[in-house]
């Protein structure tokens, strides 16, 4: 079951909720500005492609993320994975990136959507084949639940095409809600869809 969308941001470091919707626009901007001034945030991003030249699409996404100012800390191997939950037989190439940026999650989401469109992603109501899909998996130890974004990603622990590459580059990272290591989550996963390291 997906968590209820509350429009709140929880910060483990400050241990409080900020209801962004109820704040004046100027105050909301001040909060987001100060968020970036205290340093960079470490994110883990999941990349996927099953339309067109899959390898080139992943490489292009990494290039554009870097040009957008994100520091690429590490990249996993590329995995070929069986499609999950969509009406297609086209297998995916999947990869996970560790990046650092001063962008807050909502700002990073805007950059991600812009890059997806630049590579040719067309958004549809139902899941379908796409040249690129970029998901924000983790943002440091932050927990966020708004209409547009949930961090940690709500289904990341159910998907081996996420857990395998994530465990490759960040096995000891702790899931901020479940308080378990990524490697342990992979070992406990009940996902039986095929994941092949290339």
pLDDT on residue 109? 96
The tens digit of pLDDT for each residue in 31-80 reads 344 344 447 999 999 999 999 999 999 999 999 999 999 999 999 999 99
Q: State yes or no: is 60 an active-site residue.
A: no
Structural tokens at position 56 = 């080139």
pLDDT on residue 128? 67
Q: Residues 54, 60, 133, 159: which is the catalytic one?
A: 133
The tens digit of pLDDT for each residue in 73-132 reads 999 999 999 998 776 679 999 999 999 999 999 999 999 999 999 998 877 655 668 899
Q: State yes or no: is 191 an active-site residue.
A: no
Q: How far apart are CA 146 and CA 131, in angstroms?
A: 26
Indicate the domain borders of the chain. Answer: 13-197
> The whole model's pTM is what?
0.79
Structural tokens at position 167 = 């465990």
Q: State yes or no: is 130 an active-site residue.
A: yes
Q: Residues 33, 42, 60, 130: which is the catalytic one?
A: 130
Instruction: Classify domain 13-197 at the CATH class level.
Output: alpha beta
Q: Can you say how many angstroms the Cα of residue 153 is from the centroid of all Cα atoms in its chain?
A: 6
Q: State yes or no: is 133 an active-site residue.
A: yes
Q: Residues 42, 135, 184, 191: which is the catalytic one?
A: 135
């Amino acid at each position: 079951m997906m968590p209820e969308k509350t429009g709140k941001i929880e910060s483990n470091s400050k241990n409080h909720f900020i209801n962004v919707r109820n704040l004046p626009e100027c105050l909301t901007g001040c909060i987001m500005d100060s968020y970036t001034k205290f340093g960079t945030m470490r994110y883990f991003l999941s990349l996927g492609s099953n339309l067109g030249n899959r390898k080139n699409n992943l490489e292009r996404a990494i290039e554009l993320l870097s040009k957008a100012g994100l520091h690429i800390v590490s990249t996993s191997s590329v995995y070929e994975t069986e499609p999950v939950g969509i009406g297609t037989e086209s297998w995916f190439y999947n990869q996970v990136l560790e990046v650092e940026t001063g962008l807050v999650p909502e700002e990073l989401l805007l950059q991600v959507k812009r890059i997806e469109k630049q590579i040719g992603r067309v958004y549809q109501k139902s899941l379908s084949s796409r040249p690129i899909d970029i998901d924000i998996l983790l943002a440091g130890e932050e927990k966020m639940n708004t209409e547009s974004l949930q961090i940690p990603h709500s289904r990341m622990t159910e998907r081996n095409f996420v857990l395998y590459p994530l465990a490759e580059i960040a096995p000891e990272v702790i899931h901020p809600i479940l308080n378990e290591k990524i490697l342990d989550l992979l070992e406990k996963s009940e996902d039986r869809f095929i994941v092949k390291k290339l």
